[in-house]
Amino acid sequence: MITYGKRTELNTIDVIRLFESSGIVRPFSQPSRIKEMILNSDLIYTAWNEDQLIGIARCVTDFSYCCYLSDLAVHRDYQSRKVGATLIEHVEKELGDEVSLILLASDTAMDYYPKIGFNKAENAYIKKRKY
């Protein structure tokens, strides 16, 4: 049975394993960087199958106007089971109707987000990190 919840503490190795198993591109070889990503997040919801982390929605937000959904990752074995959509529902419920939810989608997820209520933005810019 999959359980969902808000988390303030996560094991870095669990998050790295989830990222690797989900197909998301993140700096796996830099555990200290992943740890900082977790520690400096404002809002994290997770999905678990018993003691296995199978999904995460990691956000940076002011809880008033906008929220950047920095990571939405679901273990490959659990994709197409609405785990990602359920994580986003938890985030939206906490944020309320006055907060915009913003994200950057990978090429492989471009068709997914409109299915769960996101609108494509044509008026956005990005200055990419040097990684």
| Partners of residue 68 on adjacent β-strands | 60, 102
Confidence of residue 125 (pLDDT cuts 50, 70, 90): confident
In the chain, where are the structural domains located?
Answer: 2-115
- The per-residue pLDDT for range 50-95, each reduced to its tens digit, is 999 999 999 999 999 999 999 999 999 999 999 999 999 999 999 9
Confidence of residue 131 (pLDDT cuts 50, 70, 90): low
CATH 3.40.630.30 fits 2-115, yes or no: yes
Q: What is the pTM of this model?
A: 0.90
CA atoms 95, 85, 125, 25: torsion sign: positive
Helix (H) or strand (E) holding 67: strand 66-74
